[in-house]
Chains A and B, each alone.
Chain A
Amino acid sequence: TQLLEQSPQFLSIQEGENLTVYCNSSSVFSSLQWYRQEPGEGPVLLVTVVTGGEVKKLKRLTFQFGDARKDSSLHITAAQPGDTGLYLCAGMFSGGYNKLIFGAGTRLAVHP
């Protein structure tokens, strides 16, 4: 059974601070996605990483995929109140029939 550990589960910071969210597994991902979810809405895709060591940037968000494709991180620079939400990492595993295994999520609150 593949498990995805995501940390921290909660993060409350002031506007302008930096933060990092981590996603780890003992299994190798074929791909990993990061989503953001607002209350009462479905998850919205932020990025997909597939290559070990890959780094992708989306404005103030930086996504890294570990060399061994077992871990990933999301770094937000100079967080803003608009970044508040639930961040979810989700991985696909080879032979997993395109199913996504979700982490527990990180609930981020950015205070002005």
Chain B
Amino acid sequence: GAVVSQHPSWVICKSGTSVKIECRSLDFQATTMFWYRQFPKQSLMLMATSNEGSKATYEQGVEKDKFLINHASLTLSTLTVTSAHPEDSSFYICSALLGGLWDTQYFGPGTRLTVL
């Protein structure tokens, strides 16, 4: 149980285009999902908290107009990188929060974005 998927697993795009990444909780409902960014050889950096039915909460320094988040249902959150530039190239990982005895985040497999 507690499986999270991401699509696509990798994407290459031209500078100036927009890219959408999907994050799905496959076997549970998640009112809260999170988006992270990870640079090579580094740990995960939280970008934003995605809440179903409300606006996402962005971490300090993350441009909300550049990284658009939509949490349209209890099993789907999307991250759109708008007007992508080479510096946006990174590994993007989402997680979904599973509540219970204690709250736990389950992570997707990640999306490798390369902007040319």
A98 touching B97, Cβ below 8 Å? yes
Q: Which residues 54-107 in A have Cβ within 8 Å of B in the complex?
A: 88, 90, 92, 97-100, 102-105, 107
Q: Which of B65-73, B76-84, B100-108 contacts A (4 or more CB under 8 A)?
A: B100-108
Q: Which residue of the partner chain B has the closest CB to A35?
A: B107
* Contact, CB under 8 Å: A100 / B43: no
Q: A42-B110, A43-B93 are in contact. Are A33 and B105 (CB under 8 A)?
A: yes
Number of interface residues of A (CB under 8 A): 23
Which of B44, B46, B107, B112 has most A Cβ within 10 Å? B44
Query: Would you call A43 and B102 a contact (CB within 8 A)?
Result: no
Q: In the bound complex, do residue B44 and residue A97 qualify as a contact, i.e. CB atoms below 8 Å apart? A: no
Task: Please indicate the chain A residues that have their CB under 8 angstroms from the CB of B104 in the complex.
Answer: 31, 33, 45, 48
Contact with A along B34-52 (1 / 0, CB 8 A): 1000000111111001000
Q: Verify if B25 is at the interface (C-beta below 8 Å from A).
A: no
The contact size tier of chain B is 20 to 34
Task: Tell me whether A43 and B49 are in contact in the complex, defined as CB-CB below 8 angstroms, given that A98-B32, A102-B44, A103-B43 are known contacts.
Answer: no
Additional pairs, 16, CB under 8 Å, beyond known A48-B104, A98-B49: A31-B102, A31-B103, A35-B107, A42-B6, A42-B95, A44-B107, A45-B107, A50-B102, A90-B44, A97-B49, A98-B103, A98-B105, A99-B46, A102-B43, A102-B46, A105-B42
Residue of A nearest to B4 (CB): A42
